[in-house]
């Protein structure tokens, strides 16, 4: 028959995450990113969360690279972000950058979920890899330029996260990736699970935004208090600016999963 028995997995993910996508687009984070205002302290803070998330995601993809659902969408040479993030963190924090990693509880929950499904339901990794990598690939070049301009960086050093040297044509690669993903054979139960996990991926990212916002709010209050007393230790440790508003702008800039996720829907 000419009719397809069922929709492609990529199309189904697009449909089930539509509400979350709209909600993410209309957050203050997304709207303020569009103003192109990203501060260096915020960027550094977001890199910390990106490091933890990609470490978990890529370790689980590596561990499950021969799994029938993961193998078709396993492209470490083209897509892996962890080494790039490490390079950026070392550029900003120096050789001892690992000691300066600070993340909200939401980031830890995100990582825990990735490790849990890596052990129990590796096919669910497809949802997270698709949401993150194709979002990164869609928005990487544009976001990299915005971040560089906003922070006044004279070169692309510190912005390796946004670059995909192994991908010559992002649009062609995304077509290849979606084709590979749609070829994955899943039972009805597994497919349903992957779709639910795609929604969860969006929710986890939104929770990370909220967690970062709260961290900045606390740090801002501490900075205000330190103007009348010497309680500046916590502020120094977190290395934040005192204002919540700039952080909100930054969170968008860095968490490309949501910032660039529009690319998933424009193609």
Are 70 and 125 contacting, i.e. CB atoms less than 8 angstroms apart?
Answer: yes
| Residue 67 marked ligand-binding | no
| Residue 44, CB-side half-sphere exposure with 13 Å CA sphere | 20
On whether the CB atoms of residues 85 and 57 are closer than 8 A, the answer is: no
Number of Cβ within a 10 Å radius of residue 93: 17
Distance between CA atoms of residues 252 and 36, nearest Å:
10
Long-range contacts at 161-167 (CB < 8 A, ≥ 24 apart): 161/47, 161/50, 161/81, 161/84, 161/85, 161/88, 161/136, 161/256, 162/136, 162/256, 163/84, 164/78, 164/79, 164/136, 164/137, 164/140, 166/77, 166/78, 166/79, 167/78, 167/79, 167/137
Q: To the nearest 5 percent, what fractions of the chain are helix, strand and coil?
A: 75, 0, 25
The C-alpha atoms of residue 120 and residue 63 are separated, in whole angstroms, by 12
SS3 182: helix
Q: Is 109 annotated as a binding residue?
A: no
Task: Look up residue 175 and give its DSSP letter.
Answer: H
- 174 assigned to a ligand binding site: no
Please identify which residue in the block is written with the tokens 């996720």.
261
Q: Which residues are annotated as a binding site?
A: 14, 21, 130, 178
- Binding site membership for heme b: which residues? 14, 21, 130, 178
């Amino acid at each position: 028959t000419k009719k397809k028995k069922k929709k492609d997995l990529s199309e189904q993910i697009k449909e089930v995450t539509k509400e979350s996508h709209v909600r993410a687009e209309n957050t203050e984070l997304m709207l303020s990113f569009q103003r192109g205002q990203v501060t260096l302290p915020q960027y550094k803070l977001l890199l910390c969360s990106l490091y933890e998330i990609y470490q978990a995601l890529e370790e689980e993809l590596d561990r499950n690279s021969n799994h029938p659902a993961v193998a078709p969408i396993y492209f470490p040479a083209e897509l892996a972000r962890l080494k790039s993030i490490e390079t950026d963190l070392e550029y900003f924090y120096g050789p001892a950058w690992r000691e300066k990693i600070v993340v909200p509880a939401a980031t830890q929950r995100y990582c825990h979920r990735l490790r849990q499904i890596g052990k129990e339901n590796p096919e669910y990794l497809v949802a997270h890899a698709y949401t993150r990598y194709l979002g990164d690939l869609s928005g990487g070049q544009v976001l990299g330029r915005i971040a560089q301009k906003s922070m006044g960086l004279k070169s692309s050093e510190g912005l390796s996260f946004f670059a995909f040297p192994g991908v010559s044509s992002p649009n062609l690669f995304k077509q290849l990736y979606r084709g590979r993903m749609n070829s994955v054979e899943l039972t009805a139960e597994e497919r349903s699970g992957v779709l639910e996990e795609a929604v969860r991926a969006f929710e986890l990212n939104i929770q990370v935004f909220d967690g970062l916002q709260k961290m900045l709010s606390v740090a801002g209050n501490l900075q205000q208090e330190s103007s009348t007393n010497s309680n500046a230790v916590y502020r120094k440790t977190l290395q934040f600016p005192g204002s919540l508003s700039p952080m909100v702008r930054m969170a968008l800039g860095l968490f490309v999963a949501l910032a660039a996720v529009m690319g998933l829907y424009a193609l």
